Structure 1
Amino acid sequence: MKKVAFLLADGFEDSEMKNPYDEMVKNGHEAVIIGLKDTEELKGKQGTICYTAHMSITDANVDDYDAVIIPGGSSPAHLMNNKDIQKFVQQADKANKTIAAICHGPQILNAAGLLKGRTLTSYPGLADEIKAAGGYYVDKEVVVDRNLVTSRKPEDEPAFISETIKKLGVNAW
């Protein structure tokens, strides 16, 4: 069993949270939702799915986790300027932990200064932002660059989830 951190705020893309979260649990992993505040209620952008943060980012220790998943939607925009969020993903990257970001998730990687020289994908509207940060943007359903797994949109979730699970060492999806 691996421990997976989900970085989450209001406005997440519903399926980009629900499907990876459900698959991590289904595969026997512990999924921990980390928000800006402990026990805060977080609503998806459709307003039909809600999650409660298990802990705040200030209480999270990256050493406790094997991977980090960053769902898209507007959640990353609410998280990306938080210094504790940035530090968490920087430490995860330095420790070569899997960081999986879909849709707008790479905004957090950019804010943390992790894109230079990396190849990734995202919501197509972020392509110029990725290039400006020194990253290489490709328009594919999933891109794996060392410890980073990135995807563009909800339709890419099967490939995104499969690659993330592969990185965790389990091929059940």
Structure 2
Amino acid sequence: MAKIAFLLADGFEDSEMVSPYDAMKEAGHESIIIGLEKGLECKGKKETASYTTELAAKDAFASDFDAIIIPGGGAPEELRVNDDIIRFVKEVNDQNKLIAGICHGPQIMISADILKGKAVTCYIGIRDDVKLAGADYQDEEVIVSENLVTSRTPKDEPAFIREILAKL
């Protein structure tokens, strides 16, 4: 059983949180929702899902987790400017643990400066940002590159989840 950190803030893409979160729980993995503060209610941009953060980013450490999953939508934009989120993602990457991001999720990977030399996919709107961060952008439903798993949009969720579970 793996311990997985879900990075979340308001405005996440509903299904990109719900589907992987439910799949990880169903597979028996422990899933912890990490946000800017503990106890924050985070609502999906479509308002079909809502979660409460269980841990503040400042209290998250790579040694306590096996993987990070970053849902897309507007949440990564808010999270990527937080020093504790970036420190945590860098620590997890330094330990070569799984980091998975879908849609806008790779924005946090860009800010953590962990994309150089990696093959990555993402929402087309941040394609140029990913390239400028040194990644080899590929327009595929899912890309696995070393410890990273990335996908583009909600329609790619089955492949995204499949590859995360395979890496765990």
TM class, shorter-length: over 0.9
For 1:49 and 1:60, the matched residues in 2 are separated by: 24
Match of 2:102 in 1: 102
Report the RMSD for the aligned CA atoms in angstroms.
0.6
Deviations 1:71-100 (A, max 9, x none): 000000010011111111111111010000
The aligned amino acid for 2:38 is D
Residue pairs, 1:4-153, within 5 angstroms:
4-153=4-153
Question: 1:47 deviation in Å?
Answer: 1.4
> Which secondary structure does the structure 2 equivalent of 1:5 belong to?
strand
Q: Which moved more, 1:128-137 or 1:12-21?
A: 128-137
Higher mean displacement: 57-66 or 4-13: 57-66
Q: Secondary structure at the match of 1:28?
A: coil
Residue 4 of structure 1 aligns to a residue in which SS? strand
CA offset digits 1:54-82 (Å, max 9, x no partner): 11101111111110000000000010011
| DSSP 3-state at the match of 2:90 | helix
Query: Aligned pairs, how many?
Result: 168
Give me the whole-angstrom Cα distance separating, in 1, the residues matched to 2:148 and 2:134. 15
Shift of 1:133: 1.2
> Structure 2 length normalisation: TM-score?
0.99
Whether contact under 8 Å (2:61, 2:91) holds in the other structure is no
Amino acid aligned to 1:76: P
Alignment-mate amino acid for residue 90 of structure 1:
K
Deviates more, 1:52-61 or 1:99-108: 52-61
Q: Secondary structure at the match of 2:87?
A: helix
Cα distance, 1:139 vs structure 2: 0.1
Partner of 1:171: none
Alignment partner of 1:165: what SS? helix
More deviation, 145-154/58-67: 58-67
| CA drift at 1:48 | 2.3
Q: CA deviation at 1:30?
A: 0.4
Secondary structure of residue in 1 paired with 2:127: helix
Report SS of the residue matched to 2:116: coil
1:106-164 deviation line (CA, Å, top 9, x unaligned): 00000011111111000011111111111110000000000000000000000000000
- Look up the match of 2:158: 158
| Distance in structure 1 (CA, Å) of the matches to 2:57 and 2:131 | 28
SS for the counterpart of 2:149 is strand
Question: TM-score if structure 1 supplies the norm length?
Answer: 0.96
Contiguous gaps of at least 5 residues in structure 2: none
